[in-house]
Amino acid sequence: MPTGYISIGSNIEREKNTRSSLVALEKGFGKLVASSVYESEPVGFSGNAFYNLIVGFQSDLEVKAVAKQLRQIELDHGRTRDSQKFSARTLDLDLILYGDLIIHDGRLQIPRDEIERYAFVLEPLAEISPDLQHPVSKQRYSEMWAAFDKNNSKQHIIDF
């Protein structure tokens, strides 16, 4: 049974939406392993700070079925499909890893390149799965985080 990892982000009613997304994800996928919650400055636009975290889960669902469930949870939380990539949002759920799958099929990209580009994805992933290896580079996430340029990283763990 593959282990999946989901990046969660919210900067509109962020505490409410983050908490209710965890309930919805646990209902849909069972027991979750969650990172700390990080408060992060928005990337690519000006706006309210985000709450970000990574959760891991095990599932025997097909990857497209998982992605479909994530989209529905976003919609249930007021996310609109016409929202810009770099904009405020009630909830953003991205399936960043699913076992060792490597997929580039339209909107479904696994592993997500955000893992290597954004501290708000890599740091919490390295926190909960430090020894897991990236399916393409084969680098451990703890090693990737240690080598990550943290100069522009504006985030910190919050008491959630």
Exposed, middle or buried by CB within 10 Å (0-12, 13-18, 19+), for 113? exposed
Of the candidates 69, 149, 66, the residue with the CA atom closest to the CA atom of residue 110: 66
Can you give the pLDDT at residue 81? 64
Inter-residue contact 39 to 85 (CB < 8 Å) = no
Read off φ and ψ for residue 155, nearest 5 degrees.
Answer: -150, 155
Which residues, given as ranges, of the chain have pLDDT below 70? 81-87
* pLDDT for position 45: 78
Can you tell me the distance from the alpha carbon of 57 to that of 25, in angstroms, rounded to the nearest whole number? 9
Report DSSP letters for 32-82, one per residue: -EE--EEEE--SSS--SPEEEEEEEEE--S-HHHHHHHHHHHHHHTT--TT
* Res 86: pLDDT: 63
Mean pLDDT of the chain: 93
In the chain, the domains with their CATH numbers are 3-158 (3.30.70.560)
Q: pLDDT tens digits, residue range 137-151?
A: 999 999 999 999 998
Whether 66 contacts 28, CB under 8 Å: no
- DSSP 3-state of 13: coil
pLDDT at 106: 84
Tokens read off for 124: 């919490």
Q: What is the pLDDT of residue 82?
A: 62
